[in-house]
Amino acid sequence: MKIASAEFVLGAVNLRQLPKDGSKEIAFLGRSNVGKSSFINKLCNRKNLARSSVDPGKTREMNYYLVNGEFYFVDLPGYGYARLPEQIRSSWGKLIEQYLKTRTQLALVLQLVDARHEPTELDMMMVGWLDYYEIPFLVALTKADKLPASKMPRIVQTAKDTFSRFSNCRDVLPFSSINGLGKAEVVKIIAEHLKA
Ligand SMILES: Nc1nc2c(ncn2[C@@H]2O[C@H](COP(=O)(O)OP(=O)(O)OP(=O)(O)O)[C@@H](O)[C@H]2O)c(=O)[nH]1
Ligand SMILES: [Mg+2]
């Protein structure tokens, strides 16, 4: 599969606003500032399709991008931004859990984890939900360009040890929005899940 076109469709703050055409969805989940928007831009070869923020926690909407006129990339609001009021954090949790629980056209989730850090408690809670709701997911270790190449194999192996006990985890791989590391593999796995 080649990603030839991508366009912003809508930003939703509740599930009633989501597209109703039934097209398959690939969703991007991860803590605030982990690199979700940059990831989408890299996959689509676009600089500013998904707005990447200098101001973490700003994206509160679920942003939909139509790809190849055929399926959606869904940029989910980031979690774990401590400076947000508790009320917003809990409404975020309800929205995402309802989305994961009910969205039958969701084909795959890209769970993003910073390659330089251990997965957070919230990261582990998210993959717990994904597994519980039987949603296939791929773990991408972001900002891999910030790691020395010599450290990479051990970091990837440690992450594989952590995530492979979840039966819906399809793979764990390093990714960089700067140099494109991992992009070809990610596109291939997305294409497989769109077909299934
Ligand atoms: N070096 C490097 N920096 C990255 C990479 N991906 C993202 N960044 C930087 O990390 C910051 C956050 O990236 P975003 O793509 O906005 O992260 P996000 O997950 O969409 O953040 P929120 O929308 O706030 O949840 C930006 O300054 C990006 O330039 C990467 O692969 N390598
Ligand atoms: Mg973003």
**Apex 74 CA angle, 67 and 144, nearest 5:** 95
Å from CA of 170 to ligand 2 middle:
24
Residue 143 Cα to ligand 2 middle (Å): 14
Task: Report which ligand 1 atom has the smallest distance to the Cα of 54.
Answer: 27
What pTM value is reported for the model? 0.95
Instruction: Report d(CA 79, CA 54) in Å as an integer.
Output: 15
Cβ–ligand 1 distance for 61 under 6 Å, the answer: no
Q: What is the arithmetic mean of pLDDT over 175-191?
A: 98
- The CB of 24 under 6 Å from ligand 1? The reply is no
Higher-confidence residue: 191 or 61? 191
The neighbourhood of ligand 2, an ion, using CB within 5 A, equals 36-37, 59
Q: What are phi and psi of 135, to 5 degrees?
A: -100, 120
CB of 42 shorter than 6 A to ligand 1: no
111: Cβ below 6 Å to ligand 1?
Answer: no
Residue pLDDT, tens place only, 91-150: 888 899 999 999 999 999 999 999 999 999 999 999 999 999 999 999 999 999 999 999
| Residue 137, pLDDT score | 98
The whole-number pLDDT of residue 88 equals 74
User: pLDDT for 28-57, tens place per residue?
Assistant: 999 999 999 999 999 999 999 987 666 665
Q: Indicate the average pLDDT of the chain.
A: 93
What domains sit in the chain, N to C, each tagged with a CATH number? 6-195 (3.40.50.300)
Question: Which is nearest to 64 in space by CA: 47, 78, 44, 50?
Answer: 50
For residue 155, the model assigns a pLDDT of 97
Going by alpha carbons, the residue nearest to atom 24 of ligand 1 is 56
pLDDT for 75-97, tens place per residue? 998 888 767 777 777 788 889 99
